[in-house]
């Protein structure tokens, strides 16, 4: 397939603006009917999502959050998956006005890690207790040969071990590729391919992406079509909130989800909800008129949980610990922890803002995050079993929607959490974690308990990577 994109015709701006106008004053009865439909966990229509976006009434907002909490609990239980990003390069040929990596930023410390350095960074991440990595690189590969660097990085991550630990799933966030290159990327054994549209609004997109391959809106907006055509059935999407009106972005993203479902019979595996954060060499965050308030941010997280109930939702350490706590309750199912957004930052043991993509809001170490998550009643999960057993794409949905996934995910989460407690936890975290596991086992039905308890015993007896 040539490196030219089909038009992203799924983005229909007029439909979005008309829908936002027509749902500007939703009737309470209409809103409550949508909440009742959402509880059936079959998702919401475009118009129903737009109606919830227009909510302002405090009482209805509380009902929105309560509905989101109920849906998240029913589908995901107490699980909260943890991962770490691994930035391997900040060299980039694009010139995104909001990003520290942009080509015109002469003050940025440019770093391209060697494979040996990638292995060293991976080792540090493993010793934090992580089993899942998201590899991130700037777009600096104009031809197929330089893509080999990314392919080699995936292989390096998988080949690195330390003590009882290793990375069991390497997800990748790199710039859009051709179908042929996506097939090569898939062959390296990646998990999820992730790429953010940044903004779905064409005029704004053109203004904030003036130069580089990324200036081509359609090439980026059709990236998941090429990835899924190449056989990558786990993909992750999302806007960068704050570039344009978040209400438009949510509905445009929903148009993309519907497009993928119609074409491939499967939507994205994950949605990310990053908000703009300060970045070296740009004041975009301070000057954007579309900055998303905390209240609107919480609302959109809850709305997405109602709209696409079985889609994983990711929150990075861009957000503060306080905001992350609130979002755990109403929709978020995956979080990063102990993150560095600068290449080489893990070995340095501290972030370098002058080589980082953005500022980190939650700077706590993994152990502190894990302990707090457990004390909040959530199970910190390091599970990667679904991908390795083929429960991905359509197959994952076939197991998840009838509710059978709880007999896999809950036991696997407790098994991997036990691994963390045995191999990496501080005494305080181990104590909190063991208490949480005891409570979780006691609350399980007989079938779940018969699966989970023997798995935990095996891990405590020295066995690792125990999953169903």
Q: Are 341 and 87 in contact (CB under 8 A)?
A: yes
232 CB neighbour count, 10 Å cutoff: 22
CA-to-CA dists, residue 454 to 47, 168, 383, 411, 460, angstroms: 47, 22, 17, 10, 10
How far apart CA 341 and CA 350 sit, in angstroms, is: 10
Q: Are 96 and 63 in contact (CB under 8 A)?
A: no
Q: What pLDDT sits at residue 146?
A: 78
Instruction: Give φ, ψ of 122 to 5 degrees.
Output: -60, -40
Per DSSP, what are the bridge partners of residue 279? 282
Torsion angle (degrees, nearest 10) of CA 377, 383, 389, 395: 50
Q: Are strands 165-166 and 161-162 parallel, antiparallel or unpaired?
A: antiparallel
How far apart CA 9 and CA 268 sit, in angstroms, is: 18
Helix (H) or strand (E) holding 457: helix 446-460
Cβ-based neighbours of 381, under 8 Å, separated by 6 or more: 79, 80, 81, 82, 409, 412, 413, 416, 417
Q: What pLDDT sits at residue 364?
A: 94
Q: What pLDDT sits at residue 1?
A: 40
Helix (H, G, I), strand (E, B) or coil at 61: helix
How far apart CA 76 and CA 313 sit, in angstroms, is: 11
Q: Are 140 and 146 in contact (CB under 8 A)?
A: yes
CA-to-CA dists, residue 104 to 94, 110, 175, angstroms: 9, 12, 18
Given the candidates 1.10.340.30, 3.40.50.1220, 3.20.20.70, 3.40.50.1100, the CATH classification of the domain at 73-258+267-362 is 3.20.20.70
How far apart CA 392 and CA 279 sit, in angstroms, is: 35
10-residue mean pLDDT profile of the chain (468 residues): values are 75 97 93 98 96 97 98 92 96 94 92 95 98 94 70 97 97 96 96 97 98 96 98 96 98 98 95 94 94 98 97 95 95 96 87 81 96 97 84 65 70 97 98 98 93 97 95
What does the chain come to in residues?
Answer: 468
- List % helix, strand, coil for the chain (3-state, nearest 5): 50, 10, 40
Q: Are 138 and 101 in contact (CB under 8 A)?
A: yes
Q: What pLDDT sits at residue 144?
A: 46
């Amino acid at each position: 397939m040539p490196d030219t994109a089909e038009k992203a015709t799924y983005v229909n701006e007029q439909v979005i603006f008309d829908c936002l106008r027509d749902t500007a004053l939703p009737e309470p009865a209409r809103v409550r009917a949508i909440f009742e439909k959402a509880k059936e966990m079959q998702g919401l229509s475009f118009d129903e999502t737009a109606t919830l976006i227009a909510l302002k009434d405090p009482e209805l907002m509380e009902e929105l959050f309560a509905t989101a909490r109920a849906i998240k609990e029913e589908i995901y239980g107490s699980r909260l998956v943890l991962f770490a990003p691994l930035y391997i390069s900040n060299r980039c040929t694009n010139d995104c006005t909001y990003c520290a990596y942009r080509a015109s930023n002469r003050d940025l410390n440019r770093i391209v890690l060697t494979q040996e350095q990638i292995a060293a960074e991976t080792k540090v991440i493993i010793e934090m207790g992580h089993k899942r990595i998201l590899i991130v690189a700037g777009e600096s590969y104009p031809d197929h040969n330089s893509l080999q660097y990314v392919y080699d990085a995936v292989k390096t991550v998988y080949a690195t071990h330390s003590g009882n630990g290793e990375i069991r799933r390497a997800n990748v966030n790199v710039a859009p590729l051709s179908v042929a290159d996506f097939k090569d990327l898939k062959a390296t054994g990646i998990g999820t391919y992730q790429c953010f549209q940044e903004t779905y609004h064409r005029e704004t997109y053109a203004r904030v992406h003036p130069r580089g391959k990324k200036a081509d809106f359609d090439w980026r907006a059709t990236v998941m079509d090429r990835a899924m055509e190449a056989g990558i059935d786990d993909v992750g999407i999302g806007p960068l909130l704050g570039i344009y009106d978040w209400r438009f972005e949510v509905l445009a993203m929903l148009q993309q989800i519907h497009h993928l479902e119609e074409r491939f019979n499967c939507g994205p595996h994950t949605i990310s909800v990053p908000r703009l954060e300060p970045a070296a060499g740009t004041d975009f965050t301070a000057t954007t008129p579309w900055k998303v308030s905390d209240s609107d941010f919480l609302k959109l997280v809850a709305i997405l949980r109602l709209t696409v109930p079985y889609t994983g939702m990711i929150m990075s350490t861009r957000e503060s610990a306080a905001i992350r706590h609130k979002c755990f309750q109403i929709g978020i199912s995956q979080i990063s922890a102990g993150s560095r957004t600068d290449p080489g930052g893990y070995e340095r043991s501290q972030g370098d803002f002058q080589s980082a993509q953005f500022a980190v809001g939650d700077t706590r170490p993994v152990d502190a995050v894990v302990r707090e998550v457990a004390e909040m009643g959530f199970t910190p999960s390091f599970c990667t079993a679904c991908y390795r057993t083929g429960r991905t794409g359509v197959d994952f949905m076939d197991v998840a929607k009838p509710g059978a996934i709880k007999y896999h995910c809950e036991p696997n989460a407790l098994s991997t959490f036990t691994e963390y407690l045995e191999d990496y936890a501080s005494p305080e975290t181990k104590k909190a974690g063991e208490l949480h596991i005891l409570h979780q086992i006691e609350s399980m039905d007989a079938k779940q308990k018969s699966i989970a308890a023997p798995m935990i015993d095996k891990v405590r007896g020295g066995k690792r990577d125990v999953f169903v």
